[in-house]
Homo-oligomer: A and B are copies of this chain.
């Protein structure tokens, strides 16, 4: 836009662009260009309920718009998003500004850049990030040398959330949830050793139609199946870890003596916009594995 006047960032050109940013606010559809006034704005326009509320740098606004498109499913997990040049044209900003927005989204693991090919929507289906959220590592070797875990679904039922589960999932008590119990076993000495006992709670509405068969039939990462089947992408999670003793049933399922201390790992996984989509309570046996964490 605004050809000519290339070498100088003239006052007029600047004012022109500024006015566009100030007033062209989120045209509904077809031309998603929602620049807000960058910062030193005329205070009069601040008060307006302008739809896009924040006074943030342009690249942050662009980041927000890209995020909206990701949420809306405009580009599906694994697909390429438009090139930087295309996005720059679409949002009417320079390529550099789009680049900075994409840089941050890539740092958040929402997008993946591939030189020469394009920028892609991140997915849990890829080999090198399959165990992104699983921090339990074998004491010897690595996740790669260990091979895939054996999964055994013990239970899968639909029920109403109690107060505890509802609070953690951001639901109301009594809302429908799906509860799954499973055991993960890792290869060792020619057999498989039960190592993780997990209970999962999933909100009933977004996961409508999920069955025990669907879960147990699935090869590959569970979160990848959630993306493909339900369009739900887990982007972030929080874990709280404690040391506990198992009860009799838990010890039996893990084939351990009841006096074995275990890690209790409570995970809440979030999709876009910090919406909780999974509660997971795991018991990890740390006889041959450990929970690995990196501090920066």
Contact = CB atoms under 8 A, between A and B. Distances in A.
Interface of A: 7, 107-109, 132-133, 135, 236-245, 261-263, 267, 284, 286, 290-296
How many copies of the polypeptide does the oligomer hold?
Answer: 2
A242 B135 contact: no
Given A7-B7, A261-B245, A261-B262, A239 B132 contact: no
A244 B241 contact: no
Nearest to A293: B239
Nearest to A265: B293
A40 to B, nearest CB: 14
A233 to B, nearest CB: 13
Given A7-B7, A261-B261, A261-B262, A295 B133 contact: yes
Contacts of A236: 294-296
A241 B296 contact: no
Kindly name the residue among A7, A237, A238, A263 whose own CB sees the greatest number of chain B CB atoms within 10 A: A263
A293 B238 contact: yes
A107 B108 CA distance: 12
Nearest to A134: B295
A244 to B, nearest CB: 6
Given A242-B286, A245-B261, 17 more contacts: A109-B296, A133-B295, A236-B296, A237-B294, A237-B295, A238-B295, A239-B292, A240-B290, A241-B241, A241-B292, A241-B293, A242-B263, A243-B244, A243-B261, A243-B263, A244-B261, A261-B261
